[in-house]
Each structure stands twice: as structure tokens, then as C-alpha cells.
Amino acid sequence: MNKHLPTHLTQEELLSEDQASEIMDRTAKVLDESVVPFIVTAQQVMESAFLEWRGEGKYIYTPDGKGFFDCVGAGGVFGLGFAHPEVVDAVVRQAQRGGLATRAGFLPGQAELAEKLKSVAPDHLEYVYFGNSGTEAVEAAIKLARVSTGKKKLIGTHLGYHGMSIATISLSGIGMWRDGIGPYLDSTVLVEHGNLADLEEAIDDDTAAVVLEPVQWASGCKVVSQEYFQGVRELCDRHGAMLILDEVQTGLGRTGKRFALEHWGVKPDILCTGKILSGGMVPVSAVLYTAEAHKGERMRPLFNNSSFGGNPLACAAGITTLNLLKDRYFERAEKLGDLMGEAFQELVQEFGYFLAGFHGLGLMRCLEFQSPLFGAVFAEWMRRDESILVAAMGHVPQFVRISPPFICEDEDIEALKQSCRKVLRTMAGYTPQELFEDFSSKLQRVQRAMAEKAERAEEQEGAMA
């Protein structure tokens, strides 16, 4: 055996309960001390912590073999599920030839991936840039818009989400990520998503770009009117601004269309994609853009640049993913999305006491609860009682995000509906006050644990001083 392997890869896929517990304790200890202390403490106190050991198909497994049906998918990454055998095969073959690239020569994988992306995107988007993450893609798009228009002003939306850099957070309107990191990027303005009058008031002849998600997944998946994007396009044209559509989460089948823009028939100047493009294996993002957007970089080779963007491993994963999507999974995603919409409609009609409605398109859905408490409890009990991973949004927990992979069978959507029904019926056996007291007591334990951790850190700092 290779003596340099990571420790966890030297161990069996299925371990005893004691072995799994030992690994969990060791992992949590290091993460708590050095990486994500708040998350570790909170999940342990809330009794929601588990160890991701391996993934296969629709499921993520713990070391002792407990499986969770993944309907979170890291914000939509796992359209093809975990470790799709054809994507794994492509990545392994490429790894055996070489993983990354010197960037001194041409890469056939980049050329093929660019061609395949253009074949599924609107045909007016002629150029492609490859990055590693959605943040990088939106950053590249901002730069293209500014340099090609010669303007600086950028318009984003309240409750939008475009990434975790200063520039992308400046265009995102979610306080839990924005607060405390200013000053933000100069000449950025936020407007209400879906409110054309708000945008009309903000946009002017100094605007380089309007940056929008077709559906704001981080904020409840609410779908804007058919007229909205046509109006946005007209305003951008009137003021000489570019329209950047951030389809990192919505693109490549997630909403039931190849790109969500097809629901509105809108033509962006710049289109960002990623997540699903990775095949759940190798991070990759891409920016597709027009000849007009390309003008600013014509005489600036490597204007947008990345050491790892478009590397051979990422291209192998992306090409195989697009082949699979075109072969069968675009069609499956559309059908499954229709089934999911019907299932959620039934749940809303049956459990109106808890559910205010549902939103989204395709397999990009949110259940909206009547209160944040109900959403938070539902998400936790889906994991605890049904072994299904869904996500109550931290800043708006009344919205619970549910995003199964495209590889599901029709029966999986029916089973998901039945699991939702069982949890809602269990919740109905408690009064709102009982639910509140139970959840509140857990939150108070989290707060106490964090306060104790902060006190210990201050004591240690004092002793060192």
C-alpha cells in the first residue's frame, strides 16, 4: 500500500460503530480547534453532526454505513449524484495522463469543453473563460463588463448571492455574509429582485452591468414575472449596460431547462455557470460571453487568468458531464422537476397550517413555511427521522431548500413527498409552543457552548500575555 496516502483512504469503506466514533471524535476535535469552530460546536450541540465518508449515487454515507439521501447538494453541485461512474472513469483516465497543466501549451480538453458548452448555451455567446468556482466566474464577468464598456457602476440585488470575494459580496445582499466586511466595491448598488421600477431608478448611463440570478436560490427560490427580464434587457440596452446572468446554481438542467434564462427567453451579454459542470468530481466554472464583451480583452492576453482554471482534470469531468446531460439527464431533470412541483402542491394543500407555499422551478425548489421556527424544525427532523438532507436557509429559515439529483427515479420523488408528509404529521403532534421550547433550548445550549469557548480562548490569551 502507498504509505503516503491520506489516513482515511487507508481504512475500509465500512467500519464498526466504535471505529467510526473514534474517527468522528478526532475529526471534530481538529476542525473545532482550527477550521470551523462555530459550525462544529453548533452541530454537536444540536445533535446533527455526522461524518461524510463516501458518496455513491443519491446517497452520502457515514463510516458505519448510515446513508443520507442528499437533497442539498452543496448548492446544486450534485446533479449527477456522487461518484457517477462515467465521470469517475474520465477523471481517473486523465489523472493517469497528468492532472494539472503547465499552461505553456494547448489543452485539447479546454477546446472540447468550450465547444460543448457553446452547443448548449445561447448561440450569441461566442467566447469562454474557465475558472474554478462561481465566485471566480462572476469576478471575471465583472471585469469583462467594466473593461468592455469603460464604465464602473454595477447593480446587484438585495438577497442575491454571487460568491464570497469582496467584489461578489458587494453585489450580494445577504447580511450574514456582507456585514462587517466593508467598505464594499466602489460604485455598486443593490435593488429589489423582480422590481423593474427599482432597477429603472438605479440604472443610468454610467452603469457597466446589471448582475442577476434568474432564480435566487439563497433567498427562497421565488420566480419573477415573465415581463421582468424582458424589461431588464430593455433597460440595459437603453443605457449601454451589460446583462450578466449568474447561472452557477440555476444552470445546466437544475430548473428543468438547459439554462434558466430559457424560461424567460432573455439574452444575456455574459453568462456564468459552474457547480453541476463539475460532475460532482472536480471544481470548474465557466463564463460565456459575446463578441462585444470580448472587445475589451482583445489586446490583453490572459486578461482573466487562473493557475487551475480549465485544468485537464476539470475539463475531463466537465466534458463527460455535458455528454451525460445531453444524452439523458436534461430530459430527466425536466420530468423530475414537474413531479416535484406536483408533490409540493399536494403538501401545501394538505398542510396549510405549516406551509405558506412553495417556489422555484424544476429541481430547484423551496418550501415556504408559515414561520422560521417551522422551517428550522422541519429541516432538522427530515435529517433525524427520514435520513434526508435538506437545508433551512440560515438567514431566512422559513424557506427550506430541496434539490435532489437528476439521477433520481420517479419513485424517489414520491418517497420524498411521503417523507415530508410524515415529518409534517409528526410536527402536527406538538403545539407551536412545544416546538419553540424544544428548539429554543437547543439554541441556548449552542450559545452557552460558544460563550464558554470564547472565555477559554480569552483565558489562554491572557496567560500567554
Q: What is the CATH classification number for the domain harbouring 221?
A: 3.40.640.10
Q: Are residues 60 and 179 in the same domain?
A: no
Is residue 68 domain-resident? yes
In this predicted structure, what is the pLDDT of residue 465?
A: 63
Q: Are residues 271 and 236 in the same domain?
A: yes
In this predicted structure, what is the pLDDT of residue 457?
A: 76
Q: What is the CATH number of the domain that holds 75?
A: 3.90.1150.10
Is residue 282 domain-resident? yes
Range of the domain at 245: 85-326
Q: Where are the alpha helices (DSSP H) in 203-310?
A: 226-239, 291-294
Q: Are residues 158 and 262 in the same domain?
A: yes
**Total domains present in the chain:** 2
At 238, list the grid cell: 437603453
3-class SS string, 90-154: HHHHHHHHCCCCCCCCCCHHHHHHHHHHHHHCCCCCCEEEEECCHHHHHHHHHHHHHHHHCCCEE
pLDDT in tens, the chain (465 residues): 789 999 999 999 999 999 999 999 999 999 998 998 888 988 988 889 999 999 999 999 999 999 999 999 888 899 999 999 999 999 999 999 999 999 999 999 999 999 999 999 999 999 999 999 999 999 999 999 999 999 999 999 999 999 999 999 999 998 888 899 889 999 999 999 999 999 999 999 999 999 999 999 878 999 999 999 999 999 999 999 999 999 999 999 999 999 999 999 999 999 999 999 999 999 999 999 999 999 989 888 888 999 999 999 999 999 999 999 999 999 999 999 999 999 999 999 999 999 999 999 999 999 999 999 999 999 999 999 999 999 998 889 999 999 999 999 999 999 999 999 999 999 999 999 999 998 888 889 988 988 888 888 787 777 776
In this predicted structure, what is the pLDDT of residue 36?
A: 85
In this predicted structure, what is the pLDDT of residue 458?
A: 80
Number of Cβ within 10 Å of residue 237's Cβ equals 12
Q: Where are the alpha helices (DSSP H) in 276-407?
A: 291-294, 312-324, 330-350, 372-386
Q: How far is it, in rounded angstroms, from Cα 208 to Cα 292?
A: 13
Q: Are residues 223 and 109 in the same domain?
A: yes
Closest by CA position to 48, among listed 450, 453, 449, 442: 442
Residue 209 CA: distances (Å) to CA of 92, 147, 232, 375: 40, 11, 11, 35
Q: Are residues 63 and 95 in the same domain?
A: no
Is residue 464 domain-resident? no
Q: For residue 183, is the peptide bond before it cis, meaning its omega torsion is within 30 degrees of 0?
A: yes
Residue 378 CA: distances (Å) to CA of 75, 329, 386: 19, 29, 11
* Three-class DSSP category at 208: strand
Q: Are residues 112 and 221 in the same domain?
A: yes
CB-based contact 94:312 (threshold 8 Å): yes
Q: How far is it, in rounded angstroms, from Cα 285 to Cα 262?
A: 20
* Three-class DSSP category at 29: helix
Residue 129 CA: distances (Å) to CA of 110, 118, 279, 427, 444: 10, 12, 18, 48, 47
Q: Are residues 341 and 356 in the same domain?
A: yes
In this predicted structure, what is the pLDDT of residue 463?
A: 73
Q: How far is it, in rounded angstroms, from Cα 163 to Cα 140?
A: 12
Closest by CA position to 271, among listed 256, 293, 287, 259: 287
Q: Are residues 267 and 288 in the same domain?
A: yes
In this predicted structure, what is the pLDDT of residue 394?
A: 81
In this predicted structure, what is the pLDDT of residue 451?
A: 86
pTM over 0.85: yes
Give CA 276 to chain center in angstroms. Answer: 9
In this predicted structure, what is the pLDDT of residue 289?
A: 98
Is residue 5 domain-resident? no
At 265, list the grid cell: 427567453
Concatenating the DSSP letter of every residue in 390-441 gives: -EE-SSSTTEEEE---TT--HHHHHHHHHHHHHHHHHHTTS-HHHHHHHHHH
